[in-house]
Amino acid sequence: LLVTTALSLTCIWAWSNFYSTLQSTFISKWAQHYPSNDVVLVWHLFFTAVSWLFMSALYYNQLDRLRVARRNREEFNQQHPIEMVQLGGIITELEQLAASNLEVDVIRDRSVWV
Of 5-14, 36-45, 96-105, highest mean pLDDT: 36-45
Q: Are residues 62 and 6 in the same domain?
A: yes
| pLDDT tens digits along 78-91 | 887 766 555 666 67
Instruction: Count structural domains, the chain.
Output: 2
pLDDT confidence band for 114 (50 / 70 / 90): very low
Q: Are residues 92 and 105 in the same domain?
A: yes
Q: Are residues 109 and 69 in the same domain?
A: no
Q: Are residues 29 and 17 in the same domain?
A: yes
Annotate the chain with three-state secondary structure: CHHHHHHHHHHHHHHHHHHHHHHHHHHHHHHHHCCCHHHHHHHHHHHHHHHHHHHHHHHHHHHHHHHHHHHHHHHHHHHCCCCCCCHHHHHHHHHHHHHHHHHHHHHHHHHHHC
| pLDDT tens digits along 64-75 | 888 898 899 888
* pTM for this model (two decimals): 0.46
Q: Are residues 23 and 69 in the same domain?
A: yes
Domain that includes residue 95, residue range: 86-114
pLDDT of residue 70: 87
